[in-house]
Structure 1
Amino acid sequence: MIKANVPMASLTSFRVGGPAEWYVAPRRIDELHASLEWARSQGLPVTMLGSGSNLLVSDRGIAGLVISTRFLRCASFDETTGQITVGAGEPLPRLAWRLADRGWQGFEWAVGIPGTVGGAVVMNAGAHGDCVADILVDTHVLLPNGSTEILTPDQLRYEYRTSALQGSKKLVTQATFQLNPGANPKELIALTDTHKQQRQRTQPYDFPSCGSVFRNPDPHKAGWLIEQVGLKGHQIGGAQVAQRHANFILNCGGATASDIFQLIRHVQSCVQREWQLWLEPEVKMLGDFQAG
């Protein structure tokens, strides 16, 4: 069902953002097609949304139709090839545990990433030295005209935390990954748990955030650069650079999207002044921030 004026704060991990003019969360591909057709018939722009974990939505909200893929969940295992085909809305941590329990090796690194398969494919999500590009076989994407295209990693032109899908109007509906079946489930579960605990030790989870805010510029880590300019704990409104990990910005209570946006720009300016380096955001920003 398409709904009007749905608050985005409840649909993003930052817990900020104005309303979507129109919003729908289809559970089947045919419902997704119907939603896109409705937007075309109304002449509305379309914004795609996954779990909202790597997203900052303006306080002014989003015009047009927001389509969330969070309920497009399915999983099909091919025991012969060791491949799994998964819906775009499948949460990464849940999939990591499921594969470990099955003894399928290769996805343990994703247990601490608070996103969905669709978003992971678009941004080449990764952790612990592994990433989507290493295991993706192909992905199905839906084009604005309603047709479907199957893309391989080469066609996606994967680089560090980016792909050809970023900024495009193509929507990931499912992805197929190559895993290594036959591993010891107990060992995989233990490794997956180790990755989870390591992430919890080193990253802040006590307040809402979007995960890492900036991409790591070679050869330094963004968090280290931010720490060196003394910005740990720096706060604008309800937004704060995390003490535990400087590449995290936290909503410490009552933050607005404008607070977070201004803090991002302040961090970029300070790092630029000290290191002659402009940090590129990993978080995707939607809406009008200049007008706040």
Structure 2
Amino acid sequence: MLPVSLPATVLPDQPLAGLTSWKVGGAAEYLSQPGSVAQLAAVVQWAAAMGLTVHPMGAGSNLLVSDEGVQGLSLGLRRLQGAQLDPATGLIECYAGEPLPTLARKAARAGLQGLEWLAGIPGTVGGAVSMNAGCQGSCLAERLVDVELLDPGTGRTWRLKKQDMAFGYRHSLLQEMAAARTPWIVVSVRLRTNPGHHPQRLLETIKANLSQRNRTQPCNLPSGGSVFRNPLPMRAGRLIDVLGLKGQRRGDAEISTVHANFIVNRGRAKARHIQALIRLVQDSVRRENNITLQTEIKCLGRFDQSSPSPVG
């Protein structure tokens, strides 16, 4: 029996595969996709009263959902969008669900330099903060001023400065909190950019970046983005490629023949197929190179003991 106090924005037994870029996974016990901060706060308070674990989700672009589904409340934040840009100071304030490619173009059109590299990452601002997303030698932490966080246990919001976020390579304080089952939720962030640049030149840089991405990544098939963190100074894709693992398949999941650090869904892949390829790569690289590749993706739901770590 459903709780009589079930908020209108919460739906039971909802499929999650369509909310992830891999297009795999089972159903959420409960799903909510609030479109405002007020709705977000109400849903989180309801979950706390029900004793439900909250699982924040952005664009689902680095998310592997178990075939068995996810218990608790899956909280989709992609509808929590919007950004305010100050062309004079370069300061940007945006909500957690703002898509990174959209934000990059908004900044470019305002003459604000420094976010062009975001255009090639199919995620949201909240997810980018949590993972300290990066590419082309840049990462989000370099631009972050502070972040507004919601504590799902108390319903209170806090604003943490960049130095409080324990940023590292594809890492932040939020991952540590999620691992401890006390996930705080990104509500909004403030970013610092460089004002006074020519918008057309910034847009041309974005166009060139996207062209490079389309040439070097399997953008025509569902994937979860880069699966493994680079064991710096080495590159995970290179280690996998040298071992001849490109094209290896389990079911309809395949290690991409375009970029070895991607696993693609060629049709009807299951999360367990993707999981099997992750283990294949980790075992092969460990055996041949004595290196343990850590996953960059996040896992939701129940996986067997050989599953990749939820936070890598």
Work out whether the TM-score is over 0.5. Answer: yes
Structure 1 residue runs of 5 or longer lacking an equivalent are none
Whichever residue aligns with residue 157 of structure 1, its letter is A
**Per the alignment, in what secondary structure is the counterpart of residue 29 of structure 2?**
strand
Partner in structure 2 of residue 87 of structure 1: 95
Offset at 1:286?
1.1
Partner of residue 252 from structure 1, selected from 266, 275, 285: 266
**Per the alignment, in what secondary structure is the counterpart of residue 208 of structure 2?**
helix
Whichever residue aligns with residue 164 of structure 1, its letter is L
Paired residues for 1:224-263 under 5 Å: 224-263=238-277
Partner in structure 1 of residue 132 of structure 2: 124
Deviates more, 1:72-81 or 1:42-51: 72-81
Partner in structure 2 of residue 5 of structure 1: 13
Paired residues for 1:137-216 under 5 Å: 137-144=145-152, 145-168=154-177, 169-216=183-230
1:97-135 CA-to-partner distances (Å, cap 9, x unmatched) read: 111112110100111001000000111111111110111
Offset at 1:196?
0.8
Partner in structure 2 of residue 110 of structure 1: 118
Instruction: Give the conservation status (yes or no) of the 8 Å contact 2:78–2:96.
Output: yes
TM-score, normalising length from structure 2?
A: 0.92
Partner in structure 1 of residue 286 of structure 2: 272
CA distance, structure 2, for counterparts of residue 65 and residue 84 of structure 1 = 30
Identity of aligned residues (%): 47
Partner in structure 1 of residue 237 of structure 2: 223
1:177-224 CA-to-partner distances (Å, cap 9, x unmatched) read: 001111011111111111111111110112100100000001210000
Deviates more, 1:71-80 or 1:138-147: 71-80
Instruction: Give the conservation status (yes or no) of the 8 Å contact 2:87–2:112.
Output: no
Structure 2 residue runs of 5 or longer lacking an equivalent are 1-8, 178-182, 308-312
| Alignment coverage as a number of residue pairs | 292
Offset at 1:8?
0.7
**Per the alignment, in what secondary structure is the counterpart of residue 268 of structure 1?**
helix
1:69-89 CA-to-partner distances (Å, cap 9, x unmatched) read: 111112112344210100000
- Does residue 22 of the first structure (1) align with residue 48 of the second (2)? no
1:204-257 CA-to-partner distances (Å, cap 9, x unmatched) read: 112100100000001210000001111000011111000110000000111000
Instruction: Give the conservation status (yes or no) of the 8 Å contact 2:221–2:264.
Output: yes
